[in-house]
Amino acid sequence: MDVPTIESLNLIAALPTMIVAVGAGVILLIELFLPKEERHWLAILSVVVIAVGLWLTFWDGGRTDAFGGMYVADGFTRFVNIVALGTAFFAILMAYDYNRRRGITRAEFYPLLLFSTSGAMLMGAAGDLVIVFIALELLSIPLYIMTGIRRDDPIAQESALKYFLLGAFASAFLIYGIALTYGVIGSTSLDAVLGAVTSQGLTGNPLLLLGAGLMIVGLGFKVAAVPFHMWTPDVYQGAPTPVTAFMSVAAKVGGFGALLRVLVGAFQDLAGAPRAGGWSLTVWAVAAATMILGNLVALAQRDIKRMLAYSSIAHAGYILMAVIAAGEGVEAGAGAALFYLMAYMFTNLGAFAIVVAVEKDDGSGTDLDSFAGVGRSNLWLGLAMALFMLSLTGIPPLVGFFGKFYIFKAAIDAGLVWLAVIGAVTSVISAFYYVRVIVKMFLEEGTGEAKVPWALALAIGMLALGVLITGLLPAGALDMAEGVILALAP
Amino acid sequence: MEINLVSAILVLPLLGLIPVVFAGGKDRDDIVRWGAFIASLVTFVVSLGLLFGFDVSDPGLQFVEIFDWIPNLGISYYVGVDGLSILLVLLTAFIMPLAILSSFSAITERIKLYYAFMLILETAMLGVFVAQDLFLFYIFWEVTLVPMYFLIGIWGAENRIYAAIKFFLYTMAGSILMLLAILWLGINGGTFALPELIEQGINYAAFGPATEALLFFAFAIAFAIKVPLWPLHSWLPDAHVQAPTAGSVILAGILLKMGTYGFVRFNLPLFPEASRQYAPLIATLAVIGIIYAAWVSYAQKDMKKLVAYSSVSHLGFVMLGIFALTAQGVQGGILQMINHGLSTGGLFLMVGMLYERRHTKLMSAFGGIWKAMPIYGGLSLIIVLSSMGLPGLNGFVGEFTILMGALGSNVLAMGFAVFAATGVILAAIYLLTMFQKVFMGPLEKEENKALADLNWREIAVLVPIVILLFVIGLYPAPFFGLMDTAVGHLLAQMGQVLTVGR
């Protein structure tokens, strides 16, 4: 075996991810020398790191590998990077004032957020199953800590513990799946798996199928797919709201990034037609159950963070539809999934930003009734929330609609008409609970109020514009999404 | 650069948002009201340019503007008008200024938001009638939902929240399947442009026996809920009764027409075989709707509810005409869309004006109003008679043509027209009963004696409508002339596909 040289590692390709991780470490060090009252600089530095990461991301488009193929830099990576970095940016804007209000003073907050972001980015760039696992842990462990960062709050502690235990369990599934795959193929490289399945005719291999199944469990947990979704509502409710916002998108971006890399990039030939066995049948059932259960249970929620938790489960179902389409060989499938994640980033972060604005200093005020009358006392905030809710429902011309449109298109293209019908019908169900928020804000009498400091206002404004602009003019983002074609067999 | 008139009327209402949103100072409310009114009036004036520049001998699209919008998916901004849509575009542009004018005194709360929604709604409705790209059409179609939801939900009556949500969910439930059907067509037809899809024709049989029927119903359910076709009508009385007056006027006058228009524009040419096959089914539902809604109408105590159910009944006629699949039927159907928009819009305005004075819509609260409000009484009588279908007024022309069309139909038996005709008689019964209860008899109630007659603004709202009722009633030829070639072309297209298919 050749000893790799620095040149052959091709570090440049992995620069965006590395900058974010290294930046997090540097900020952690700076914090040591920073007096307590100067800590807002940590947030500012984090934003700078994100900006540099974004700038590097836009640098190059073609596929190059780093670390001998363990890290893949291509259009897919680039898209995942943009969404992950965007999520981190908006989460920082939300946390900036929120942390002060709620007394979250621990300086590790921002570095943890950046570490987690780099984990999500790395998941999308994984060219090797080992990287998938490492990236998953890099994404998750900071999330566990951030969830419980309010150590005096028993609910937050319960959430963190629950998240950690179930998360560790899911990691075990993933690593077992990786081990089985390695056992059959003799390599953990995704390209090698893809090549071996075809060349050695392993499409029906039970061990390989089991391995893929276990990995679906592990990653399905991260993206909150039914039946691995149990943690979601409790963790979403217990975590500080900006952390919830961050995790709702970042964990999905990372999870789906890896899921697509593994299922489509390595196990595509194991997909099988929807009714012919293979993983696509399993994912079909998971997607259907996720859409149905997520949307139905969301109907019954009285707390907006729990409602958004079930809504996030439901949206995972829609994205899974695109994953199957990609597995069935529809090239637009992966792009549709990523486009949807971007739409979800704008919309869901926007919704959580409004929750941050309405939430009170003691952490109460996340029940739906607290939103009554907010549209009257603060018209623009109300309109922004209406925009986000309608986008989550999928009303044109907002970006959420376009995301669904693109996914349904990929699904119908792949012959998944019935899954698309389930998606369509559950979208109508979702209208009921999303619209209820608008009803509360505008149509019901109430004394709900909101605090909107400048950073939060900036976040809400940018997100609302994002929802509108990428909805009306999606061509640019679509171009990028269409550049996303997962690696085919070498 | 030459400005396309169709695009212009889509943009003009939105320009009105500028004064509405940025108005300030002590005249704020007046700036908002007049700003919205003038924007919609200018839109109407510009839309007349379409009428004067329209070539009636051309069956195809005119005033076309087309450019790539989302080239990756083959979606374009593609608008234009033809004989099927021009009257509806004009109707929309005509009703909106009147609806806005009628709101001046009725809406006193949160007026900026109100007029902003009105103007957005106008653009969206016009967009529905001019869009020639399926994707663009769907966007406008869904966008109409949001402002209307708020209009009902914020400015409506006591039970407004229930009505608003019901309206939203019903309509969305219908349209989402249409979205899937649109996707299917876009994928398998290779384009979302409607004229090209019709031109090339899709061989549905190649995709399985029920494909065309499924697609037909995916569109039909969306449109049928909007019309509304019996038995999908239950959202309508709630929405109408709870909506503010202008909301009801727009709902009855324009929004419902989006459904009937959808059948003509999409179902007939895209799915000719299925349209023919299921015409008796749709016509049966239409006739049941005509008779059932008329009976229910008769039983109402609330005027607004009565008018709402009468809407269901009248739109049954439109549907019957369309699915007669004859030139007369379709033409009568389109004309009756306009007629219904004018006369039912007028009826709702009428009820609204009384409601502003007395804050009740119950017929039993009135009686002998004519003596107190003679101008109001006179104008109301004309509108009621028009809605009944009295010869000499517009309603008669439309209903008569539809019944003729249904009698001459190849796909519908004679019984359809016979049963439908009883609807005309029933309409006379419930409308005259209402008129009698409200306007005739002695003026007994104290609070009614002091009622002020219409002011200049209210007269200005009703008179243009009344004039049109007479114009269409006495000289309908130019209206038919506008759509003649386009309807002929549509049916020829259908026939061609049908013969080729066989």
Q: Which of A84, A237, A65 is nearest to A163 (CA)?
A: A237
Task: Calculate mean pLDDT across residues A240-250.
Answer: 93
* Dihedral (Cα; B96, B98, B101, B102), 10-degree rounding: -110
Chain B residues close to A439, C-beta within 8 Å: 153, 161, 164-165
| Across A216-220, A239-243, A446-450, least confident range | A446-450
CA B120 to chain CA mean position, Å: 17
Number of H-type helices and E-type strands within chain B: 24, 2
Which chain A residues are Cβ-neighbours of B243 within 8 angstroms? none
Determine the pLDDT at residue A277. 59
Q: How far is C-alpha B394 from the geometric centre of its chain's CA atoms?
A: 16
A2 band by pLDDT with thresholds 50, 70 and 90:
low
Mean pLDDT of A92-102: 87
Rounded Cα distance between B310 and B426, Å, is 10
Q: Which helix (H) or strand (E) holds B79?
A: strand B75-81
pLDDT of amino acid A273: 56
| H or E element in which residue B298 lies | helix B272-298
Q: What is the dihedral of CA A233, A239, A243, A245, to 10 degrees?
A: 30
Interface test with A, best of B149, B171, B219 (most A CBs within 10 A): B149
Give how far Cα B267 sits from Cα of A188, A420, A421, B182, Å: 54, 22, 20, 12
* Residues of chain A contacting B160 with CB distance shorter than 8 Å: 443
Measure in Å the smallest separation between the Cα of A409 and chain B Cα atoms: 6
**Which residues of A, range 352-391, sit inside 8 Å of B by Cβ?**
379, 390
Residue from A109, A102, A134 nearest A121 by CA:
A134
DSSP-derived letter for residue B495 is H
Q: What local confidence, expressed as pLDDT, does residue A392 receive?
A: 92
Q: How far apart are CA B125 and CA B108, in angstroms?
A: 25
Q: Give B20 to chain A, closest Cα distance, Å.
A: 15
| Chain B residue with minimum CA distance to A427 | B176
Question: What does the angle CA B412 – CA B415 – CA B420 come to, to the nearest 5 degrees?
Answer: 95
Asked if the model's pLDDT at residue B80 lies above 80, the reply is: yes
**CB contact set of A185 (below 8 Å; sequence gap of 6+):** A192, A193, A196, A197, A202, A208
A55 part of contact set with chain B, CB < 8 Å: no
Give the contacts of B378 (CB within 8 A, at least 6 positions apart). none
Residue A165: C-alpha distances to residues A131, A160, B87, B272 (Å):
22, 9, 66, 60
Summarize pLDDT for A255-281 with one digit per residue, the tens: 999 999 888 888 877 766 554 557 888
pLDDT in tens, B208-264: 778 888 888 889 999 999 888 888 888 888 888 888 888 888 888 888 889 999 999
The domain ranges of chain A are 6-482
Interval A106-156: pLDDT, tens? 878 899 999 999 999 999 888 899 999 999 999 999 999 999 888 888 888
With contacts defined as CB-CB under 8 Å, which chain B residues touch A424?
Answer: 176-177, 179-180
**pLDDT for position A60:** 61
Tell me whether residues A421 and B177 touch, CB distance under 8 A. Answer: yes
DSSP B50-78: HHHT--TT--S-EEEEEEEEEGGGTEEEE
pLDDT tens per residue across span B294-314:
888 888 888 888 888 888 888
Among residues of chain A, what percentage have pLDDT more than 90?
Answer: 38
The tokens for A470 are 């990428």
The residues of B whose Cβ lies within 8 A of any Cβ of A are: 69-73, 113, 135, 138-139, 142-143, 145-146, 149-150, 153-154, 160-161, 164-165, 168-169, 172-173, 176-177, 179-180, 183-184, 186-187
pLDDT tens digit string along B105-151?
Answer: 777 778 888 888 889 999 999 999 999 999 899 989 988 888 888 88
Residues 6+ apart with CB under 8 A from B93: B9, B40, B43, B44, B46, B47, B122, B126
Q: Is A179 on the interface with B (CB under 8 A)?
A: no
Residues 413-432 on A with a CB inside 8 Å of B are 413, 417, 420-421, 424-425, 427-428, 431-432
Q: What is the pLDDT of residue A61?
A: 53
Nearest residue in chain A measured CA to CA from B137: A396
For the segment B444-470, what is each residue's pLDDT rounded down to a tens digit? 777 777 777 778 888 888 888 888 888
Task: Decide which of A162 and B496 is more confident.
Answer: A162
Segment B374-431, tens digit of pLDDT = 888 888 888 888 888 888 888 888 888 888 888 888 777 778 888 888 888 888 888 8
Q: B486 Cβ partners below 8 Å, 6+ apart?
A: B59, B82, B83, B84
Return the HEC string of chain A: CCCCCHHHHCHHHHHHHHHHHHHHHHHHHHHHCCCHHHCHHHHHHHHHHHHHHHHHHCCCCCCEEECCCCEEECHHHHHHHHHHHHHHHHHHHHHHHHHHHHCCCCCCHHHHHHHHHHHHHHHHCECEHHHHHHHHHHHHHHHHHHHCCCCCCHHHHHHHHHHHHHHHHHHHHHHHHHHHHHHHHCCCEHHHHHHHHHHCCCCCCHHHHHHHHHHHHHHHHHHCCCCCCCHHHHHHHHCCHHHHHHHHHHHHHHHHHHHHHHHHCCCHHHCCCCCCCCHHHHHHHHHHHHHHHHHHHHHCCCEHHHHHHHHHHHHHHHHHHHHHHHHCCCCHHHHHHHHHHHHHHHHHHHHHHHHHHHCCCCCCCCEHHHHCCHHHHCHHHHHHHHHHHHHHHCCCCCHHHHHHHHHHHHHHHCCCHHHHHHHHHHHHHHHHHHHHHHHHHHHCCCCCCCCCCHHHHHHHHHHHHHHHHHHHCCHHHHHHHHCCCCCCCC
> Of the ranges A57-66, A192-201, A351-360, B157-166, which is most confident?
A351-360
Letter for the amino acid at A214? L
Task: Please give the average per-residue pLDDT across A465-476, as a whole number.
Answer: 86
The pTM of this model reads 0.86
Instruction: Give B109's contacts in chain A (Cβ within 8 Å).
Output: none
Helix, strand or coil, per DSSP, at residue B81: strand
Handedness of CA A233, A238, A240, A246 (dihedral sign): negative
Closest CA to A143 of A128, A127, A123, A173: A123
pLDDT higher than threshold 60 for residue A344 = yes
Cβ neighbours for B62, distance < 8 A, ≥ 6 positions apart: B53, B54, B55, B80, B81, B82
**Confidence check: pLDDT of B502 > 70:** no
Taking phi over 0 as left and psi of -120 to 50 as alpha, with beta for the rest, A484 belongs to beta
Q: How far is CA B144 from CA A443, B121, B127, in A?
A: 19, 6, 9
CA separation (Å) from A487 to A77, A323, A418, A483?
12, 15, 28, 12
pLDDT at residue number A397? 85
Give pLDDT tens digits for A422-437.
998 898 889 889 988 8
Average pLDDT of the residues of chain B: 84
pLDDT, position B499: 42
Question: Chain A closest CA to B114's CA: distance in Å?
Answer: 13
Other Cβ atoms closer than 10 A to B456: 7
Choose among B281, B280, B137, B288: nearest CA to B222.
B137
- For A121, the token pair is 């980015």
Q: Which residue has the tokens 């609910």?
A: A155
pLDDT at A464: 93
Higher model confidence: residue A88 or residue B235? A88
Could you tell me if residue B3 is left (phi over 0), alpha (psi between -120 and 50 degrees) or otherwise beta? beta
CA–CA separation, B489 vs B502, rounded Å? 20
The answer, yes or no, to whether residue A57 has pLDDT greater than 80, is yes
All residues at 6 or more sequence positions from B346 whose CB lies less than 8 Å from its CB, including other chains:
B383, B386, B387, B462, B465, B466, B469
When CB atoms are compared, the residue of B142, B165, B186 closest to A439 is: B165
In 3D space, the residue among B395, B376, B288 whose CA is nearest the CA of residue B336 turns out to be: B395
CB atoms closer than 10 angstroms to residue A447: 10
**Lookup: tokens for B329:** 């039927």
CA of B260 to nearest chain A CA: how many angstroms apart? 22
Judged against a pLDDT cut of 90, whether residue A15 lies above it is answered with no
Q: To the nearest whole number, what is the mean pLDDT of chain A?
A: 86
Unique residue bearing structure tokens 């905030």: A381
Q: Which band of pLDDT confidence, cut at 50, 70 and 90, is reported for residue B180? A: confident
Question: Which residues touch B169 (CB under 8 Å, ≥6 apart)?
Answer: A428, A431, A432, A435
